Amino acid sequence: MSADPAPPRAGAPLDRRDFLRESAIGLGGIALSWRFERDARAQQAPSRLPSQAPSHGYSHFPPRARRVIQIFCAGGVSHLDTFDFKPELSRRHGSELTSKGENKGFFGQPGRLMQSPYRFAQHGGCGTFVSSLLPGIAGVVDDLCVVRSMVGRSNNHTPATFQMNSGFALNGFPCMGAWLSYGLGAHGEDLPTFVVLPDPRGMPAGGSINWTAGFLPAQHQGVPLVPGSAAPIHDLSTPAEVPARARAAGRIFRDRLDRMLEARVEGEAGLEARIRSYELAARMQISVPEAVDIDGESASTQCLYGIDRPESAGFGRNCLLARRLLERGVRFVQLWNGGAFGSPRINWDGHENLRENHDAQAATMDRPVAGLIRDLKQRGLLADTLVVWTTEFGRGPSTQGLDSSGRDHHPDAFTCFLAGGGSRAGHVHGSTDEVGYFVAEDPVTIPDFHATLLHLLGIDHQRLTFHHNGTARRLTDVHGEVVTGLLA
Amino acid sequence: MGERSRWSANKVFTGRLAVLLLAGGDDHWSLQPIERPALPQLERSQWPRNPVDWFVLAQLKAAGLDPGPEADRPALIRRLTFDLTGLPPTPEEIDAFVADPDPDSYEHQVDRLLASPHFGERFGRMWLDVARFTESQGFEYDKLRERAWHYRDWVVASINADLPYDRFMMLQVAGDVLEPVAREGLVAAALLVCGPWDEAGNGQANETQKAITRQDELEDLIGTVCQAFLGMTVHCARCHDHKFDPIPQTDYYRMQSVFAGVRHGERALATAAEIDVREARLAEIARRQALLEGELAVLDARGRTRVLERRAPIGQPTVNAPVPRSRWRFEGDLSDEIGSLHGRLEGSARLERGRLLVDGSESHVITAPLKVDVREKTLEAWVALETLDQGGGAAISLETGDGQVFDAIVFGERQARKWIAGSNGFERTRDLDAAGEDRGPGELVQMAAVYRADGVIQLYRNGQLYGESWTPSSAPIDFRAGNAHLLFGMRHRGGANAFLRGEIEEASLYDRALTDDEVSQSFEASGFAMSETERVAALTPAEQIERSRLLTAIVEVRAERDGMPALELGYVGRREQPVPTALLMRGDVKSPGEVVTPGALSCVNVPFGDFPIAADAPEADRRRAFAFWLADPHNPLPARVIMNRLWQWHFGRGLVSTSSDLGRSASRPTHPELLDWLACELHERGWSLKSLHRTIVTSATYRQSSVCERRSLATDADNLLLWRFAPRRLEAEMVRDAILKVSGALDERIGGPSFRPFEALPFPANTYRPLDLDLPGFRRRSIYRMNVNSGKEPLLDVFDCPDPAIRTPVRGSTTTPLQALAMMNDPFVLREAERFANRVLDETDGGLPAAIDRAWRCALGRAPLETEAEEALVLAREHGLRLVTWTLFNATEFIDVR
């Protein structure tokens, strides 16, 4: 790492039309950037030029993916009961697990090895193993790049979740979507760049920390969108008591005041940006309700996403909405499957009874995710849309405590998958040991994972930086290597 | 200028001696001793008003630029008022200033505003950004910190009182151990713990992960101290020597040794002496109370025995009460009167008045191991809670020898005031639809938990069903003879918050599942359920008189106890004596290296800067030594860092733009001599920040107009050379505060507990749903808003209000459509626009034109232009004045200072 946190601008910029389109919000990006970018860069000497936005509209090399959907299954999905088939667990079911060193569980009550309650079978042309828990996803397995060798840092939900989202196990670091918004700008200008769709059952633990822009400028933060409410985005709608005519007249007068000010204070770049921001806000008031209205989607499409079934309707709607948002120019959608920790459980945290828990969660997630991948593919979007299916950690091969049927947290090995966007379809990367405790081959750390995602988006993870508190900060901190095995 | 502290009385080392001291030191500019720079030699100029201006002028001239003209007076007073108080000036204040012919009128305004109590709120808010002050934990639980606000109030008050900056620093790292210790010192040191804290990570079972959590916690602490005061990113050296700055990894761990005894948590805001006096008094009262209550218990026991004797012949139970396998009555000893599972007192648990008393601080009773296997069972206890505001403790628990598996009757752990059948990992636990406990202190409740062989669990309270029965998914536990025991007053060993506060009258273990009737019979038969009237009636008249006397005396002694003011608690951190700190190779908790002694930055040459204290020195000595090192005038960093911050706070940008980092990878100062001149002045003026604020805002540089001169713009678009006053947008809190001030609704009370503009959704993790409440307590300044991590305040959030857990030396200043949406549609803005319209109508009663004129003066600090007034009038006539006031809130001129 050099001392010069220069903006990531090497390599060929996108073609000019892309550049213009992608930097349009760059209003936010370019015209306004002077205010904060000057602090984003280490000034070696008084500059003669206004600082330029570091990266809007630029990639380091041609991207394979132009947009991202991150699905986050909160609570910790068991790799051993989904993608990581371990016959040895059946053979040693009920026996004690030894020789793995310190127990990594959160509650520290190792029980006995437990076989998966699900049947595993090979699926698709690629023959990837998927358990009977996920029949829908098993059906699209030829589009998936399954990473069975993920390694996390923490066995504790929130730090592990933060690490998956931001690279750091602490509060307040910018999340992936924010980094992409900062690095690539927006496709369109009528919608936010980074949209968050919380699980309809509730917010995840840590709430907005999971989509914060951290120390990046506020325009890059995730914008939570709650479909079905009066204002899907906070303060989006003009309140009913304000008549439309009055609002229109007020807006015209507002712009007049700014224009008169502009005439008096010649040369202020900030004013033009403020005027533009009101124009964009007005456009957002029209484009957001249109984007979230899924009624126009055909019954077969809705069915594809599981919207016809009560258990998967809520998350299915969000998956369908995610596709609509991407089609309308959103760069990054973060889709939550699972809310905070409590009783009854509304996430994948199967401490007590793994089967009961995972059955209930998979019923909400499996069809919608499979439907989303099929739909993206049939619309030709999957080629340059990266779907990233994540969770914070896996679950241990032993029961949590004796006479139990649950599994505790397990950060040393777990599974995530990619689909589309230049990822290697029908592929399985890495493997774990005989009981899925440690990674046996090709470990992928979370910084490696992030570096690879950025690579698919045309970004060199070492060159997407922001100077904050003495360091040129990166999504990947000082780690991360692109895992070429995941690339098509 | 206030009293000078001992260590600030010395003059700064300058010249040759300092150079010699620095031999071998690093040559980076910020580590050099501060030498008073000579004023630049320039041609005569009318422009400079104080030395600040000469330094600025020199660089402007060198670039071929001229300073700008002075701002007009309305602009000047609006800028100054926002800058020094965070609020807009009133029209009257503007008029008074504009009309004041005194040549020193501007200086008078500066003095007035520096003396305003809002001055501390304005700069306190900026310090809180640096201090990463938060009022919730962050991480998974994100619990509220009810008593963290004392630190915020201390910061505001210290800035208002112009506490010398050396003292300001020292108190924040060691205020609790610097003599004379006072409440303010205890509160000031809350800096060390006012950031995020991972309760789940600290409470978990895995030792390695727990150690990593603690290391993260210390990195947050060290990072905060070093960035806030030293402008050095020392935390970068946790895993390896710093890549840019001369900070070896040893320095990081030596500083960790300084702070290793600091833990998160609440503590009484009282000195040790105050606490001792109070405790002696409490002990004396408690002794008298125990005596009286003991006598009362004897009388009551006598009454109860007589009633039971009358009910049935001696030796025969009054009702068919079930017989337990083991029973503990706590009458003077801990014997099991039926079996042989005798108990043992642990911690401060004690027996009094026939009851077991547990105080919540690790006090409990543990019994001998089971003599037979137990699967089907009933746990029963008669318990009086000391307070209903407790959670996690158990009246009775049956646990395995290693404490890993347990069944217990637990109070308030998952939901306030509710009983549950607690179990390891909540495996056999359900939240019950039952009433919250309402029995006050001393009042007994019978609680029973029945565990049937088929797995069904049922809770009872006072002989009645407590919630519905349930069948957990896991099988009932076999508690094995020799490998299980009972606990009273504790949930299980190894758990957090496991202790009960209260009294246990009696406890029983049955090796079978009682029926509903049997639980009820046990309740009836005990006699504890007997009415007081019945019991008293069985006493002789003389005994009854004696009883009345005792009751009165007990009421008096309780009143005496309750009349003692409670010790105020604050989230100021706890202290412990740490083990010696070892350097961790690559930052890995499993690779400890050499043990280090407490120390500070080796690249800073302070005479005797190497603390002469050992690796196992008392905790207080370490931080005390660090405090003196920090404030030593030979340490060049603190003065440079704070003066750069002051500059940034007034001009929007520091002389070094990375204001928490003055290291090698940071920006270079645009005006290095000016920075050193200011730092030098700070030392000379006894570390008085107010005096330096005054110097800066009375300079000609500060008073420049914001007019954008083309030639200067072409040469220096970023205004690094300060050829004008760069306009800037109000910070998030200032936007909200200005709206309230202008609408007339602002509640200007200073300090106290924060207002909470959210609904907290507790259990087991807190999340927050923002609420817009139009209530008096909610119209306070935004610095008094409880700033939680996981729920953002939408209006402030869009205006770049940072996450509280992040150290934020410089805030962003973006312009986004979401800001426009918030200002257009947020109910708060609309409501205050209406209030603003009503206010100006009330204040003018000259009809719309006068109201419009006043609205302009309140919101923008100037009269409307003719066209503005005309158009506003048309708009007001057609749509109402509130549309005009709404427009003013949305005008760029309202949220910009220029």
Residue A96 and residue A115 in one domain = yes
Q: Phi/psi of residue A254, each to 5°?
A: -60, -50
Cα distance between residue B533 and residue B511, in whole Å? 35
The alpha carbon of residue B701 is apart from the nearest alpha carbon of chain A, in Å, by: 18
> Phi-psi region for residue B351, left (φ > 0), alpha (ψ -120 to 50) or beta?
beta
Determine contact, residues A407/B474, Cβ cutoff 8 Å: no
Q: Which of B801, B898, B665 is nearest to A217 (CA)?
A: B801
Residue A245 and residue A211 in one domain = no
Residue A283 and residue A314 in one domain = no
Contacts of A203 in chain B (CB under 8 A): 767, 790
Q: What are the tens digits of pLDDT across the range B473-532?
A: 778 899 998 899 999 999 998 777 899 999 999 999 999 999 999 998 888 877 776 767
Residue A394 and residue A477 in one domain = yes
The better pLDDT of the pair B578, A4 is held by: B578
Q: Phi/psi of residue B277, each to 5°?
A: -60, -45
With respect to residue A45, please indicate whether it lies within any of the assigned structural domains. no
With respect to residue A41, please indicate whether it lies within any of the assigned structural domains. no
Residues within 8 A of A (CB atoms), B 218-277 only = 220, 223, 227, 232-233, 236, 243-244
Mutate one of B140, B493, B772 to test the A interface: name it (highest A CB count within 10 A). Answer: B140
Q: Phi/psi of residue B3, each to 5°?
A: -75, 135
Q: What are the tens digits of pLDDT across the range A114-171?
A: 999 999 999 999 999 999 999 999 999 999 999 999 999 999 998 999 999 999 988 8
Residue B309 and residue B337 in one domain = no
String of DSSP letters for A49-92 = SPPPPSSTT--SS--S-SEEEEEEETT---GGGTT---HHHHHT
Three-class SS state of B306: helix
Is A280's CB within 8 Å of B879's CB? no
With respect to residue B117, please indicate whether it lies within any of the assigned structural domains. no
Residue with tokens 């939900």: A157
Smallest Cβ distance to B812: which of A36, A234, A257? A36
Q: What are the tens digits of pLDDT across the range A199-252?
A: 988 888 888 888 988 888 888 889 989 887 778 899 999 998 999 999 999 999
Residue A405 and residue A279 in one domain = no
Determine contact, residues B635/B682, Cβ cutoff 8 Å: no
The answer on pLDDT for A44 being more than 60 is: no
String of DSSP letters for B730-783 = PPHHHHHHHHHHHHT--B----SSPB--EEEE-SSS-EEEE----SGGGGB-GG
Is A469's CB within 8 Å of B660's CB? yes
In this predicted structure, what is the pLDDT of residue B566? 83
Contacts of B405 in chain A (CB under 8 A): 109, 401-402
Residue A299 and residue A287 in one domain = no
The answer on pLDDT for A42 being more than 60 is: no
Q: Looking at this predicted complex, what is its ipTM?
A: 0.79
Domain that holds residue A342: 67-227+295-486
Residue A208 and residue A270 in one domain = no
Is B814's CB within 8 Å of A250's CB? no
Determine contact, residues B689/B765, Cβ cutoff 8 Å: no
Cα distance between residue A43 and residue A51, in whole Å? 10
With respect to residue B450, please indicate whether it lies within any of the assigned structural domains. yes
pLDDT band at A18 (very low <50, low <70, confident <90, very high): very low
Residue B328 and residue B448 in one domain = yes
Residue at a domain's end among A274, A293, A312: A293
Percent of chain A clearing pLDDT 70 (strictly above): 88
> Phi-psi region for residue B716, left (φ > 0), alpha (ψ -120 to 50) or beta?
beta
Which residues does B838 contact at the CB level (< 8 Å), separation at least 6?
A: none
Residue A207 and residue A258 in one domain = no
Cα distance between residue B437 and residue B385, in whole Å? 10
Residue B604: how many CA atoms within 13 Å on its side-chain side? 27
With respect to residue B668, please indicate whether it lies within any of the assigned structural domains. no
Domain that holds residue B862: 827-897
With respect to residue B199, please indicate whether it lies within any of the assigned structural domains. no
Q: How far is CA B858 from CA B70, B740, B863, in A?
A: 23, 11, 9
Residue B354 and residue B477 in one domain = yes
Cα distance between residue B104 and residue B115, in whole Å? 17
With respect to residue B831, please indicate whether it lies within any of the assigned structural domains. yes
In this predicted structure, what is the pLDDT of residue B43? 84
Residue B379 and residue B277 in one domain = no
Residue A243 and residue A388 in one domain = no
In this predicted structure, what is the pLDDT of residue B304? 78
Residue B382 and residue B464 in one domain = yes
Residue B544 and residue B398 in one domain = no
With respect to residue A470, please indicate whether it lies within any of the assigned structural domains. yes
Residue B381 and residue B504 in one domain = yes
Determine contact, residues B656/B668, Cβ cutoff 8 Å: yes
Residue B296 and residue B395 in one domain = no
In this predicted structure, what is the pLDDT of residue B9? 29
In this predicted structure, what is the pLDDT of residue A6? 34
Q: How far is CA B693 from CA B53, B92, B647, B648, B689, in A?
A: 14, 25, 9, 11, 6
Determine contact, residues B255/B554, Cβ cutoff 8 Å: no
In this predicted structure, what is the pLDDT of residue B650? 97
Residue A197 and residue A255 in one domain = no
Chain centroid, CA B655 distance in Å: 31
Is A108's CB within 8 Å of B404's CB? yes
Residue A149 and residue A266 in one domain = no
Q: What are the tens digits of pLDDT across the range A333-373?
A: 999 999 877 667 889 999 989 999 999 999 999 999 999 99
Q: Considering its fold, how many domains does chain B have in total? A: 3
The alpha carbon of residue A208 is apart from the nearest alpha carbon of chain B, in Å, by: 5
Q: How many CB pairs under 8 A join A and B?
A: 351
Residue at a domain's end among A293, A314, A336: A293
Identify each DSSP E strand in A349-412 by its residue range. Answer: 385-391, 394-395, 398-400, 409-410
Cα distance between residue B826 and residue B733, in whole Å? 15
Contacts of A207 in chain B (CB under 8 A): 142, 767-768, 789-791
Residue B293: how many CA atoms within 13 Å on its side-chain side? 16
In this predicted structure, what is the pLDDT of residue A207? 81
Residues within 8 A of A (CB atoms), B 834-873 only = 865, 867-868, 871-872
Smallest Cβ distance to B875: which of A208, A234, A249? A249
Cα distance between residue A269 and residue B717, in whole Å? 11
Chain centroid, CA A129 distance in Å: 25
Q: How far is CA B606 from CA B37, B601, B634, in A?
A: 21, 10, 5
In this predicted structure, what is the pLDDT of residue A343? 62
Residue A128 and residue A268 in one domain = no
Residue B478 and residue B436 in one domain = yes
The CA R_g of chain A, rounded to the nearest whole Å, is: 23
String of DSSP letters for B44-67 = --S--SSHHHHHHHHHHHHTT--P
Q: What are the tens digits of pLDDT across the range A266-318?
A: 777 778 889 989 999 999 999 999 999 999 999 999 999 999 999 999 999 99
Contacts of B223 in chain A (CB under 8 A): 469
Cα distance between residue A82 and residue A93, in whole Å? 18
With respect to residue A134, please indicate whether it lies within any of the assigned structural domains. yes
Cα distance between residue B893 and residue A258, in whole Å? 7
With respect to residue A28, please indicate whether it lies within any of the assigned structural domains. no
Question: In this complex, is the C-beta atom of B813 within 8 Å of any C-beta atom belonging to chain A?
Answer: yes
Greatest CA separation found in chain B? 115
The answer on pLDDT for A402 being more than 90 is: no
In this predicted structure, what is the pLDDT of residue B573? 96
Residue B334 and residue B357 in one domain = yes
Cβ-based burial of B346 (10 A; exposed 0-12, middle 13-18, buried ≥19): middle
Q: Considering its fold, how many domains does chain A have in total? A: 2
Cα distance between residue B856 and residue B884, in whole Å? 10
Question: In this complex, is the C-beta atom of B474 within 8 Å of any C-beta atom belonging to chain A?
Answer: yes
pTM of the model: 0.78
Average pLDDT over residues A456-461: 94
Q: Directed axis angle between helix B689-697 and helix B73-85, to 10°?
A: 160
Is B764's CB within 8 Å of A341's CB? yes
Residue at a domain's end among B525, B548, B577: B525
Contacts of B822 in chain A (CB under 8 A): 234-235
With respect to residue A139, please indicate whether it lies within any of the assigned structural domains. yes
Q: What is the CATH number for A380?
A: 3.40.720.10
Q: Which of B82, B148, B89 is nearest to B119 (CA)?
A: B82
Residue B327 and residue B306 in one domain = no
**Mean pLDDT in consecutive groups of 10 residues from the start of chain B, 898 residues:** 32 34 61 94 90 96 95 97 98 97 97 98 97 93 93 98 98 95 95 94 88 95 96 88 88 96 95 90 90 85 81 54 90 89 92 90 93 92 92 94 91 89 89 84 89 93 92 86 94 87 94 91 79 83 94 90 88 96 94 95 82 93 96 95 97 92 86 97 97 98 93 89 95 98 97 93 74 91 93 89 89 88 96 97 92 97 96 97 98 95
Q: What is the CATH number for B457?
A: 2.60.120.200
Q: Which of A419, A431, A408 is nearest to A348 (CA)?
A: A408
Residue B315 and residue B302 in one domain = yes
